[in-house]
Chain A
Amino acid sequence: MDILNKISENLQDGNIEMVSELTKQAIKEKIPPKEILDNGLIDGMNIIGEKFKIHEIFIPDVLLAAKSMYAGMNELKPLLIKAGIPAIGKIVIGTIQGDLHDIGKNLVAIMLKGAGFEVIDLGNDVPPEKFIETAKRENADVIGMSALLTTTMTAMKKVIDLLKEQGLSDKIKVIIGGAPTSEEFARQIGADAYCYDAASAVECVKGLIATESK
């Protein structure tokens, strides 16, 4: 079997050390780093995302696959930077102020990284101002917010209002997600998109960035 397939399969099985070793080997074999990324690591994460979406696998499987992806990325990153290969977009992500639930947000970050985005993860309990400051400083394309509690989800609107006030709503798009949120809620608070799950967040962000660059 082709080594990139092996990387993808071991990533899907959560074999962290194998993915690290195989990535090193692929680099040694002079396979271009972009190809290792796309056809090895990203390919594996795509399949993980699909299987997760249809509940064939669950959070522990995704987390182990992500750890494997990071192990491979650690080997690849210096080469990608050297080759000047940019990420396909930059996202600032976090769980909204007052909310300490971060599993869902972490899954979204994993899937976005797995799809080739640069993700700046602010963690949980993030104040509205911090989302804005970071997105401005980092020149991010998208802000992603998550809430699990009905008591905290309303704080998301503050971020969107702040963006509007500062005239940034065209430049920085907003996606939201989390168990109590919905398409309707996203529309009400003025978010650019609602993401039902981690896999659809990737499609969402890709769509938003595509319309932005037009």
Chain B
Amino acid sequence: MKPILERLKNGEVFVSDGAIGTLLLERGLNEGEPPEAFNISHPEIIEEIAHLYLEAGADIIQTNTFGASPLKLSHYSLQDRTEEINRKAVQCVRNAVKDSVYISASCGPTNRLLKPYGDIDPEDIYKAFERQIRAQIEAGVDIICIETMTDLNEIILAVKAAKTVSTKIPVIATMTFENTQRGFYTIMGTNIEKAVEGLELAGADIIGSNCGNGIEIMIKIAKFFKKYTNLPVIIQSNAGIPEVHDGKITYPDTPDFMAEKAKELIASGVSIIGGCCGTTPEHIKAIRKLFDSLMFTI
């Protein structure tokens, strides 16, 4: 397959996949269990989900490794299995998709706070990401995706760790912003302009935002990213803000609604569009359909 960065440079746009967590819960993951353990205990389910998103038409499939940094796995005493979990996660997706699409390795926050406001040294965060990412790259992943970050210092450490392990593997870096009355900020106080500046400097290849917001707010966020950067921009939005009905949690944004709004994202120059919490293979299918219809009109 042609390297994705080359194709992005030529103006191609891509669909990435949707949420994994809810699909795992439907398939027997218990609340409170680490989803990453499923990579080693139920590889067939991980393959099935990758296959669902492949069938839905995603060009980029993510691995089930959001919480697979040794710092986060240590909550479940699984830190010694970091390499095994990350390797197996990549292999499962590879088995399902072969070489037909790109595999992107997810890396979420460590949930630890850096000194001086928190208690962990930057070196320890860096080492944790380096270990996770090394296992992913050695298992043959095509892209590293550092996501849902709110602390600019932490995401910069993760991007640098990825670039130290390999200069060749492209790195996606996305942060989660809140829509405050003073503009878009992460809960740790980073605005979009500062995020762009820090992520570019750290060496990220593709930047943008995921989680926290529905697609309508994401359109505004995307416009700010396009204003401040020339790098390709990625947007992976939730299916709206979760609502509770009769004790059940639902996400309001339908596949058709998201696809309709994805049109505006493409118009504003976003290169990769996918889903986060609450999105399903149906959402991705709808976005794929939109992409294909636009191809014909171009």
Binding site for B on A (CB under 8 A): 14, 54-61, 63-64, 67, 97-101, 103, 125, 150-155, 157, 180, 182, 184-185, 188-189
Residues of A within 8 A of B28 (CB): none
Partner of A55, one of B117, B182, B244: B182
Point out the residues of chain B lying under 8 angstroms from A14, CB to CB.
Answer: 117
A63-B118, A100-B75 are known contacts. Are A151 and B244 too (CB-CB below 8 A)?
A: no
Nearest A-chain residue to B32, judged by Cβ: A98
B111 & A100 in contact (Cβ 8 Å cutoff):
yes
State how many angstroms separate the Cβ of A12 from the closest Cβ of chain B. 14
Assuming the contacts A63-B113, A155-B31, asked whether A55 and B185 have C-beta atoms less than 8 A apart, the reply is yes
Known: A59-B188, A150-B242, A182-B244. A101 touches B249 (CB 8 A): no
Main secondary structure of the interface of B (DSSP, over half): loop
Instruction: Knowing A63-B117, A98-B31, A100-B75, say if A56 contacts B249 (CB, 8 Å).
Output: no
In the complex, B180 has a CB within 8 A of chain A: yes
- Contact present for A55 and B181 (CB under 8 Å): yes
Asked if residues A157 and B247 are in contact (CB atoms below 8 Å), the reply is yes
* Interchain nearest-CB distance for A167 vs B (Å): 24
Assess whether B255 is interfacial by the CB under 8 Å rule. Answer: no
What residues of chain B lie closer than 8 Å to A61, measured between beta carbons? Answer: 117, 189
Task: State A152–B32 Cα separation when bound (angstroms).
Answer: 7
Q: When A and B form their complex, what is the total count of cross-chain residue pairs whose Cβ atoms lie within 8 Å? A: 67
Contact A58 B189 (CB under 8 A): yes
CA distance A1 to B111 in the complex (A): 40
User: Which residues of chain A are near B146, meaning CB under 8 Å?
Assistant: none
Query: In whole angstroms, what is the CA distance A99 to B75 when docked?
Result: 11
User: Which of chain B's residues have a CB closer than 8 A to the CB of A97?
Assistant: 32
Closest to B190 in A: A58
- Supposing A59-B187, A100-B75 touch, asked if A180 and B249 sit within 8 A by C-beta, the answer is yes
CB neighbours (8 Å) of A103 from chain B are: 113, 187
> Is A54 in contact with B181, judged by CB distance below 8 angstroms?
yes
- Please state if A180 and B242 are interface contacts (CB–CB under 8 Å): yes
Q: Can you list, as one digit per residue, whether each of B269-291 has a CB less than 8 Å from chain A (1) or not (0)? A: 00000000100000000000000
In the bound complex, CA of A61 to CA of B219 (Å): 29
Q: Give B238 Cβ to nearest chain A Cβ, in Å.
A: 10
The chain A residue sitting closest to B150, CB to CB, is A59
**Residue B21 CB within 8 A of the other chain:** yes
In the assembled complex, how far is the CB of residue A180 from the closest CB belonging to chain B, in whole angstroms?
5
B25 an interface residue at 8 Å Cβ cutoff?
A: yes
Q: How far is B243's CA from A150's CA once the two chains are assembled, in angstroms?
A: 9
CB-CB < 8 A to B32: which residues of A? 97-99, 125, 152
Residues in A with CB closer than 8 Å to B75 are 100, 125
- CB B244 to nearest CB in A, in angstroms, measures 5
The proximity string for B residues 171-190 relative to A, scoring 1 for CB distances below 8 Å and 0 otherwise, is: 00000001011100111110
Query: A125 to chain B: which residues have CB within 8 Å?
Result: 32, 75
Contacts of B111 in A (CB 8 A): 100-101
CB distance from A191 to the nearest CB of B (A): 12
Closest chain A residue, CB of each to CB of B185:
A55
Q: Are B21 and A151 in contact (CB under 8 A)?
A: yes
Residue-wise, chain B 43-69 has the 8 Å CB interface mask toward A (1 for contact) of 000000000000000000000000000
Nearest chain B residue, comparing its CB with the CB of A97: B32
A58 with B185: CB separation less than 8 A: yes
Q: In the assembled complex, which residues on chain A have CB atoms less than 8 Å from the CB atom of B242?
A: 150, 180
Residues of chain B with a CB closer than 8 A to A100's CB: 72, 75, 111
